[in-house]
Structure 1
Amino acid sequence: MKCWKCVTSDLRNLASHVRPVIIALWVGSLWTVGYLVAPTLFAVLPDRVLAGTIAGKLFRVEAWFSVTAALALLVWVKFQVAESYRRKHLYQLAGAMLACTLVGYFGLQPFMASLRESAEGGVMSGDARLQFGLLHGAASALYLAQSIVGIVLLVKNQQLEPAQQ
């Protein structure tokens, strides 16, 4: 039977590994879905509408995962990282990534879905196609920004001194 001190030490050791795992899963999923899976769908499937539908469903799952990971990370940092400039920096980076998800998926995507649904026979009018393209471009730019900030978060997290982890 382990002593209480040993058990708490083991839990503290385990806790120090949770934050990097959350960040790695979050950033890894962003890059996998956005830059591997979605482009592959459009390259492999002959029907662009079907590829877009599947990609849209994947981005929906990714958006909810991003919200969950962001909230988990923010709570974890609050309780596991010593008060410091680096903790503030982790908050800012995770908050920026969360903001990208909220604006990109929950803000812009509903307008894109509305344009897609209003297309007669799956074909958008010229104006609708232009609006969709602009919204898609803005959402893509936010996704790219979130992906880059994710890499920065991954690197900055690794730079924490052992005493702050």
Structure 2
Amino acid sequence: MTAQRVFVFILTLWVGSIITVGYIVTPTLFATLSDSQVAGMVAGALFRIEGVISMILSVGLIVFANLLVKRGCGRYKNIRWYLLAMLICAVISAFFLEPMMDSLREEALSHGFPVMLSPLAETFSRLHTFASSVYLLQSLIGLVLLWRLSKPID
């Protein structure tokens, strides 16, 4: 029982950090900083950190869930799929979307423009929309997972 509580505690902190960074800190950055380029760079750094945290914790919780299943906690069999989906979201963001967006940002800056004022703005905007969708999906999966684990054990 203690192991399950530790699992839920770690998961809760992780999902809370995802929600805090994506839906509280990032909008606050853009609302309070007068330079949206600086806000975007800070937000990007926060999302990179959150991505590393997400990859580490999703792998760690998958291993933890496997141990719980081996101990006879059958409810954690399906939980592993949710964690894998969250890991896939983090990997897509960290290894595909963020590097592509960083590349576009750097290319625009090398021509003397912020990315949103450059000819690359439309491509960057599409990638940003996709990255936001992946982040939203990861957030929702985390919330569903917490909801499922909050159900009392029969």
TM > 0.5: yes
Residue matched to 2:107: 118
Deviations 1:79-133 (A, max 9, x none): 123263x32320111111111111122211101000000112233332x111100
Q: Does 1:104 align with 2:96?
A: no
Residue matched to 2:139: 147
Partner Cα distance (1:29, 1:80) in 2: 24
Aligned residue for 1:139, secondary structure, equals helix
Larger Rg: 1
* Aligned-pair CA distance for 1:42: 0.2
Structure 1 stretches lacking a partner, 5+ long: 1-12
Partner Cα distance (2:122, 2:18) in 1: 26
Partner Cα distance (2:66, 2:21) in 1: 28
Higher RCO (Cα < 8 Å, 6 or more apart): 1
* Aligned-pair CA distance for 1:160: 5.8
* Aligned-pair CA distance for 1:27: 0.5
Tell me the amino acid that sits aligned with residue 17 of structure 2. S
**Cα pair 1:19 1:76 within 8 Å, conserved:** yes
Tell me the amino acid that sits aligned with residue 48 of structure 1. S
Deviations 1:114-165 (A, max 9, x none): 0000112233332x11110010000000000110111001011122626xxx
Q: Does 1:76 align with 2:64?
A: yes
**Cα pair 1:105 1:139 within 8 Å, conserved:** no
Q: State, as a whole percentage, how many aligned pairs show the same letter.
A: 42
Q: Does 1:52 align with 2:40?
A: yes
Partner Cα distance (1:150, 1:16) in 2: 16
- Number of paired residues? 148
Q: Does 1:161 align with 2:134?
A: no
Q: Does 1:91 align with 2:80?
A: yes
Q: Which moved more, 1:54-63 or 1:13-22?
A: 13-22
Partner Cα distance (2:10, 2:63) in 1: 12
Residue matched to 2:21: 33
Tell me the amino acid that sits aligned with residue 106 of structure 2. E
The alignment yields a C-alpha RMSD, in angstroms, of 1.5
